[in-house]
Chain A
């Protein structure tokens, strides 16, 4: 089985308003004696949704931190348009209201408290959050918290979104609803997205391409193109088929 299978490597660099997407070339990263990533290569074209799937502890979160510039690789090159992180478990600040959390990046960018709040609140209707502008995170449901966190990530205004297990903490039903919701939100507001998940089905439903990582140290096992029409339905035969292929690829090394 090939370890590197890159179908769309030659994306024209300046096809999209000067954006170049994300490109990782032979990236390795270790923390002390623990090798998190070992020679990882893949790329995401502008406005492409790339899912990174693999078992727990295969360095998926490390990969996102490299793309966001929070870490430097030990070897290899990470080239990315400006990227913003949506950390695991939403990362909402408990003392801020929903609208202040959503507008946090705007405040960091220099907007006044009132301006950041107003800009964030404008989007609350589209995100199904009307009436919860002043609610604190602990007063919101899990799905609402994720939507606030996603709005906050969008409002950071960066071309690349790094989503780290965005629905990992949700119950199965809410996760299904949120996957549909995210697919819709990204269709309306296309961005380059790196979606880290351990849920292969989620990857198939949302992504244009799936990068499958091995257990630690994370290596690219296989890259799967998901050339299915949207919206995708989990019961669809093609979705199930691709899910099986991805699981088999992951299972063959376990």
Chain B
């Protein structure tokens, strides 16, 4: 409720500012103009949204697979942990705008470089949160399972994996929120469709309202993905106290 009121206030103030002539509508379109563009350019933006959504979903799926493998692998094997940790952390230090054109050069204008870019941005929060979750298991519960003579695999399956689920969902929600950034940068580096591409062309044609409309769709895409993971978390992590 508070979020709705705040949004309405911001939108109202914004609209008043632009209509009152405080800002050039070419630089900052009024919310009503953005809404209008969203409707009139729907035939243009709709397919772009579908393209970007597909890139993001495929990239997230790859990120979850990679992040899960790395998180569990680093937890289970000390040598894997030592070998991979610098690489995993270093991968996040590489600036996305620098690496995106390289991916396009290597993989072409198709889906592959976008999926790879999204996966690169998103695997890290998944891997690190899962890894931390697996490590931060109640020591008493570990002792309990050891006194049952549980094997390493049983401890992972019966204790560590369920205990790590809340942290993993935190990682997934972070990944969902940042996933669209990866897709947009990859599209900017070389693409003929997608919301990132739409953003670029709209900017080039000074169609500011359409650029804002594309941004709004990216925003909504990220919010929806986050919401999906939050919903899944509620269904799966039923033992923790819900806020």
**Residues of A that sit less than 8 Å from B by CB:** 65, 68-70, 83-85, 87-89, 91, 93-95, 104-105, 107-109, 136-138, 156, 162
Instruction: Specify the chain A residue showing the minimal Cβ separation from B241.
Output: A138
Contact: B239 with A91, CB < 8 Å? no
Q: Is the CB of B230 closer than 8 A to any CB of chain A?
A: no
Contact: B143 with A104, CB < 8 Å? no
> Which of these binds chain A: B89-97, B144-152, B187-195?
B144-152
From B148, B162, B237, give the contact of A93 (CB < 8 A).
B162
From B140, B143, B158, B237, give the contact of A108 (CB < 8 A).
B158
A87 CA / B241 CA spacing, docked (Å): 23
From A83, A88, A108, give the contact of B145 (CB < 8 A).
A108
Quick one: given A91-B141, A95-B162, are A84 and B147 in contact (CB under 8 Å)?
yes
Q: Which residues of B contact A136 (CB under 8 A)?
A: 238-239
Quick one: given A87-B140, A93-B141, A108-B154, are A156 and B239 in contact (CB under 8 Å)?
no
Instruction: Specify the chain A residue showing the minimal Cβ separation from B137.
Output: A93
Q: Separation in Å of the A26 CB from the closest CB of chain B?
A: 24
Q: Separation in Å of the B144 CB from the closest CB of chain A?
A: 5
Which residues of B in the span 205-243 have a Cβ within 8 Å of any Cβ on A? 237-241
Q: Is the CB of B159 closer than 8 A to any CB of chain A?
A: yes
From A65, A94, A109, A137, give the contact of B143 (CB < 8 A).
A65
Number of interface residues of B (CB under 8 A): 22
Q: Which residues of B contact A107 (CB under 8 A)?
A: 154, 158
Q: Separation in Å of the A101 CB from the closest CB of chain B?
A: 10
Identify whether the interface residues of B are mostly helix, strand, loop, or mixed. Answer: helix
Q: Separation in Å of the B134 CB from the closest CB of chain A?
A: 14
Q: Which residues of A contact B237 (CB under 8 A)?
A: 95
Contact: A70 with B239, CB < 8 Å? no
Q: Separation in Å of the B199 CB from the closest CB of chain A?
A: 43
Contact: A108 with B239, CB < 8 Å? no
A138 CA / B140 CA spacing, docked (Å): 17
Contact: B147 with A94, CB < 8 Å? no
Contact: A88 with B140, CB < 8 Å? yes
Q: Separation in Å of the A60 CB from the closest CB of chain B?
A: 14
A48 CA / B176 CA spacing, docked (Å): 58
Per-residue interface assignment for chain B, residues 124 to 150, with 1 indicating a CB less than 8 Å from any chain A CB and 0 otherwise? 000000000000001011011111111
Quick one: given A83-B147, A108-B145, A108-B149, are A94 and B240 in contact (CB under 8 Å)?
yes
Q: Separation in Å of the A107 CB from the closest CB of chain B?
A: 7
Q: Which residues of A contact B145 (CB under 8 A)?
A: 104, 108
Contact: A68 with B239, CB < 8 Å? no
> What would 5 more interface pairs be, CB under 8 Å, given A95-B239, A108-B158?
A84-B147, A91-B144, A95-B237, A107-B154, A108-B145
A108 CA / B159 CA spacing, docked (Å): 11
From A70, A104, A162, give the contact of B146 (CB < 8 A).
A70
Contact: B140 with A89, CB < 8 Å? yes
A93 CA / B155 CA spacing, docked (Å): 12
Q: Which residues of B contact A69 (CB under 8 A)?
A: 147
Instruction: Specify the chain B residue showing the minimal Cβ separation from A71.
Output: B143
Contact: A156 with B148, CB < 8 Å? yes
Q: Separation in Å of the B233 CB from the closest CB of chain A?
A: 13
Contact: A138 with B239, CB < 8 Å? yes
Q: Separation in Å of the A102 CB from the closest CB of chain B?
A: 13
Instruction: Specify the chain A residue showing the minimal Cβ separation from B165.
Output: A95
CB<8 Å pairs between A and B, sample of 25: A68-B146, A68-B147, A69-B147, A70-B143, A70-B147, A83-B147, A84-B147, A84-B148, A85-B144, A87-B140, A88-B140, A91-B138, A91-B141, A91-B144, A93-B158, A93-B162, A94-B240, A95-B163, A104-B145, A107-B158, A108-B145, A108-B148, A136-B239, A138-B239, A138-B241
Q: Which residues of B contact A104 (CB under 8 A)?
A: 144-145, 148, 158
Q: Separation in Å of the A209 CB from the closest CB of chain B?
A: 23
Q: Which residues of A contact B138 (CB under 8 A)?
A: 91
A242 CA / B143 CA spacing, docked (Å): 34
Contact: B159 with A93, CB < 8 Å? yes
Which residues of B in the span 166-203 have a Cβ within 8 Å of any Cβ on A? none
Q: Separation in Å of the B137 CB from the closest CB of chain A?
A: 10
Q: Please give me the 3 A-B residue pairs with the lowest Cβ-Cβ distance, nearest first.
A: A85-B147, A87-B140, A108-B148
Contact: B144 with A87, CB < 8 Å? yes
Q: Which residues of B contact A83 (CB under 8 A)?
A: 147
